[in-house]
Homo-oligomer: A and B are copies of this chain.
Amino acid sequence: MDLQRIKYFLALAEQLHYWKTAEKVNITQSALTRQIQSLENELGLQLFERNKRNVKLTPAGKFLKEKWEVELSELEYIHQFAKQIHLGERGTITIAHPDSISASIMPDILAKITQAFPQLQIKLVQVLYENQLDFLKNYKIDLAITRDITSEQGIKSKKIYSDHLALVVPLAHSFKRFEDLSTESLKAQKFILPTKDEGSSYSEIIQALFKSYDFVPDVFLHSEFGSTIIALVRKGLGIAILPDSYMHHQSPDLRFIPLPFKTDILINWRADDHNPVLANILKLVFGD
């Protein structure tokens, strides 16, 4: 059954006149007659009660007019919706990102996305560092924003930002500026650091930092969660090293002392992911 036929039927059901209807839908009266006839045959019922003079809907025709009108407009809506999905204007994308950037570049990225594609549904999730790539490969997330470089097969990555590491100390602490730091003064500190992850490029940078001062830090606590670390530093339990993105989190009683070490933020996605939503987002993020 052709939907076009149903449209012809609806037009005729409105006009109840073959000639006028045929003209309106841009076919000849003969074609219209046959379209209606074949529609009737296909359904095995009569749609119109007609003689050579008058056209009138049968009860079944009246019923179908009402139902088909609804059904067709539903279909039209569905097709529009599908088109939007095709164009990547509609759909869902799940993004994992580290806590550190949730107050710095994430708001910018999200603002850009929602402005360009207001119909998009974005799910933000927190994923442990070690799970990020697994989740990406297993379609649990579509986009992973990380500080780690990966050379995994089938995953594409691109740097979108880089920030400096910073030493985080309470306001009252004796460290005020970078120049206050020395191997001696650092050795005396208790450190709160991120979980040391084998092969994580982020923890390698931190290790490189300590190596530049040529000592092994006294780490009394590891945590994967920046906000936990910040809370502990604020309580005076130690000092930390964090990306200076955390400065954007409101922490009035802390001091961030920038260090000459940079940490990159990368965006990772499946190379074979053809979801148009992803393509749009990547275009948006790299576009300018």
Q: Which residues of A contact B (CB under 8 A)?
A: 1-4, 43-46, 49, 58-60, 63-64, 67-68, 71, 74-75, 78-79, 81-83, 85-86, 91, 274-277
Given A49-B274, A71-B78, A83-B45, decide whether A59 and B2 contact each other with a Cβ distance below 8 A: no
Chain A interface helix/strand/loop/mixed: helix
Q: Which residues of B contact A4 (CB under 8 A)?
A: 1
Q: Which residues of B contact A63 (CB under 8 A)?
A: 81-82, 85
Q: Determine how many copies of this chain the complex contains.
A: 2
Is A58 within 8 A of B86, CB to CB?
yes
State A85–B62 Cα separation when bound (angstroms). Answer: 10
**Closest 8 A/B residue pairs (Cβ):** A45-B86, A60-B85, A60-B86, A60-B82, A1-B3, A67-B78, A2-B2, A64-B82
Q: Which residues of B contact A64 (CB under 8 A)?
A: 78-79, 82
Per a CB cutoff under 8 Å, which of B49, B59, B91, B276 touches A277?
Answer: B59
Q: Which residues of B contact A46 (CB under 8 A)?
A: 86
In the complex formed, the residue of B with least CB distance to A64 is B82
Per a CB cutoff under 8 Å, which of B44, B82, B274 touches A83?
Answer: B44
Q: Which residues of B contact A91 (CB under 8 A)?
A: 59
